[in-house]
Amino acid sequence: MANIYWNGPKAPQKEVFIALMKEAVEYTDNTFIVCFESDDTGMHVVLKVERNEDDTSGFKKFPDVSKYMGWRLMCVHVPKGYLHVFYNADGSKNETKNQDDMKYESQK
C-alpha cells in the first residue's frame, strides 16, 4: 500500500537535477551533489551533503518534502572529501580503480 504514494508522474531527471541543485544551497553550506539511485523500491533522487569538520551533519535544514517533483527524495550526509572522489559534477559516479588495476597499469 505504501508504494502507491510513490506512483504517479515524475519530472525528467535533468529537470529534477537542475531544480534540486539550485534549491540545495538553502540546505547546506558544504559540498553537495544531486544524483539518482535505485534500491528495492525503485529509482529515487538523492541529495548528498558532506559532513562538517566536527563530523556533524552538513545540513542547515532538511527539505520539508519526501516527494520532490514526483521522485522519492532521500537526504544523505557523507564524510568530507567523499563527493570529490566518488562523483562527477553532473551527479554521475566517478570511475574508481581498485588496487589490482593500479598495479597492472604501473607494470605497463
Chain centre distance of CA 7: 21
Backbone angle region of 100, left / alpha / beta, with phi > 0 → left and psi within -120 to 50 → alpha: alpha
Structural domain total, the chain: 1
Average pLDDT over residues 6-26: 92
pLDDT at position 1 is: 46
What is the distance between the alpha carbons of residues 28 and 7, in angstroms, rounded to a whole number? Answer: 29
| Domain residue limits at 31 | 2-106
pLDDT at position 94 is: 81
User: What single DSSP character describes residue 93?
Assistant: B
Range of weakest confidence among 18-27, 66-75, 83-92, 97-106: 97-106
pLDDT at position 73 is: 94
Report the mean per-residue pLDDT for the chain. Answer: 86
Could you tell me the sign of the dihedral formed by the alpha carbons of 27, 16, 77, 44, in that order? positive
Higher pLDDT, 66 or 48: 48
Q: Is the pLDDT of residue 96 over 60?
A: yes
